[in-house]
Structure 1
């Protein structure tokens, strides 16, 4: 751990150069590099191109594409005097395969926090599964979202998860309405099918097939929708700790800087940045912190936070971090008086918290990083309270 005043004095230090899993503290790097390379005003665009009798839906990594936006695109296509199309083509060339980050666990893909990262993504590559008794409703529903139920009245609870190409709903049927978010098995096809449905709802007939392309230069767009700016997206990422949004930002930074939206190129960008900040022995493989390969010392995070404080967008960055009472700090540090903005991190065996304490008067603000790793048993159970006690001492 390390805590240092922005004026330069170290307040607390304990093994600050030991590389440990940062977990979701990795998102601090993702937010900083997105604001630096993309800029606070950058907006992702999803475009539709007309190519003969076909339509191309071009994904550029937009992390906030919604069914409503697909309907807007469909209406704009109809307003371009198009009433029928042969093929629908998904252009996904801006991101390289694979769609799951290096070092992710197999189980991560079963749940919404492990949704795949793709150039064309609808509703964060997830669907909402609403269960009422034994009735099931999936939104948005396409042909890619097949589900299997196995209700057992003797079970203790309900489980909803992705299992290969299926969504499984098993266990005890709930007495009250319950909604779970689950990753879809084939995200690009799911999005393209949802777009086809939106087109048909506007009166545009689809008579051909569904295709995939890696052509990132598709001509003139006839319809476009945009995401919120990066200044808003980094907060949507950090407050609830949204892994999908982090990967979309990271891979887009890689594409803008290195010309290829791959995790390998992201690794190059982020590790070159950490080298320039003298961050010590670091290895970062993804943008969310879900990767078990990631290692970073507390001193490296503190040096990144010090660098952020010098940037023109520093207030945007720190405002993107949750404060006590919201997001992943909803029930933590509520008794602390000075303003705290901090990013949590949780993996099996690891608990982390890094951020800033804003002190009043002439005292310098304090940036800090606490990384605890190799935790088992009671140490793991008590880690959050141990970290919070440390931050309380800083704040006092």
Structure 2
């Protein structure tokens, strides 16, 4: 039997700060390859929130590899062009401009139809268990095989002037200002897929990130605009298909490697990037870029780690269906520590003073950890690299938080981690 299984409530003083009858706790802190420092209900599965991204990072580095790059390709099909996406989470307007340059340089001066090929992921674009209102804001951007600027736009409001970047005909803005309003609100009206700008005009320019309602069409129209800016005429229509014919490749752009993308995901806790990684893992492992396939990949992985009861339905942690225990996450971290790419993984986690740890652990050295926040849940899992060379792997999951417990959760978690770091 493993040491952590034989000591279900080891070293209670470390967990005193987390004791309560009003919320649920799953905690495990263990020296790597050594003794348990603290344990409280380590096998109770709770919502991991963005600690889900630890699984996404680990499985991306394992199945895709640190050097894997996402590809976006343009091919010629008769007198038309096909824009094919394979989940590139970093596709930018500059990338589309480079693709348009290559089309022009290939001697193509005019095209009839511009086609988006979405076969790589399929139709579903919102994770199972996401809340309806998640789609109103940038953090809830949909996951699609073709995705421009993370399937978001930046909306800058200066007085009553509104500027959108990147802007296409797929983005509709409705602005209604009110000097008497308390604040400015910028969000996507999900039923209508319009972006609403409402409330008090700001005295200084204010920029908000908002998800796009029809992201594949938005990307396709931006590519059309890039072609026209390079002098390539478009005489037909645009359409989206999941069954495009293959043609002669004209141009390709690629993403940064996965080793960089997992850090871009974990430091700010980027949900969109997490879903693109997760669905790509599912596609490469199961030949199906769906969340159901991803759930099977994660389930197989956790079963092999003897991680206990768990259910992981998305890659970001936005899903309210996700459940895993502290033991499940610590065993994942222990497995990561044995992999050749372990440093890339642990270095992808925020350190004190950066990203989601910007205002945490200023007096604690060696912490690298992933935060997690959902209504009623607060989580933190990661590693403490201690001066004596004994690394501590830990996971703290708090669920059922309301009122003051929810307000004080971060303080309690930080006190616990500071204790085990000594």
Query: What stretches of structure 1 move > 2 A for 4+ residues in a row?
Result: none
- Distance (Å, rounded) in 2 between the aligned partners of 1:33 and 1:72: 31
What does residue 355 of structure 1 align with? Answer: 382
Which residue of the partner structure matches residue 13 of structure 2? Answer: none
Residue 75 (1) aligns with residue 68 (2)? no
Q: 1:348-391, CA deviations, whole angstroms, 9 ceiling, x for partnerless residues?
A: 00000000000123x42100000000000000000000000001
SS at match of 1:109: helix
CA RMSD, 1 decimal: 0.8
What does residue 282 of structure 2 align with? 254
| TM-score between the two structures when normalised by the length of structure 2 | 0.92
Counterparts of 1:1-396 in structure 2 under 5 Å? 1-164=27-190, 165-215=193-243, 218-336=246-364, 338-361=365-388, 363-396=389-422
Cα distance in 1 for partners of 2:59, 2:243 equals 27
CA distance in 2, matches of 1:154, 1:180: 21
CA distance in 1, matches of 2:245, 2:333: 37
Deviation at 1:211, TM superposition (A): 1.3
**Cα distance in 1 between the residues matched to 2:54 and 2:216:** 28
Contact 1:7 1:364 in 2 (8 A): no
Question: CA separation in 1, counterparts of 2:103 and 2:77?
Answer: 12
Secondary structure of 1:391 counterpart: helix
Report SS of the residue matched to 2:373: strand
Q: CA deviation at 1:97?
A: 2.2
| Separation in 2, partners of 1:395, 1:175 | 45
* Structure 1: stretches of 5+ with no match in the other structure: none
Give per-residue Cα distances to partners, 1:257-284, cap 9 Å, x unaligned.
0001000000000111011111111000
| Aligned counterparts of 2:97 and 2:253: Cα–Cα separation in 1 | 10
Q: Structure 2: give runs of 5+ residues left out of the alignment.
A: 1-26
The number of aligned residues is 394
1-structure distance, mates of 2:55, 2:341 = 14
2:90–2:150 Cα contact (<8 Å) kept: yes
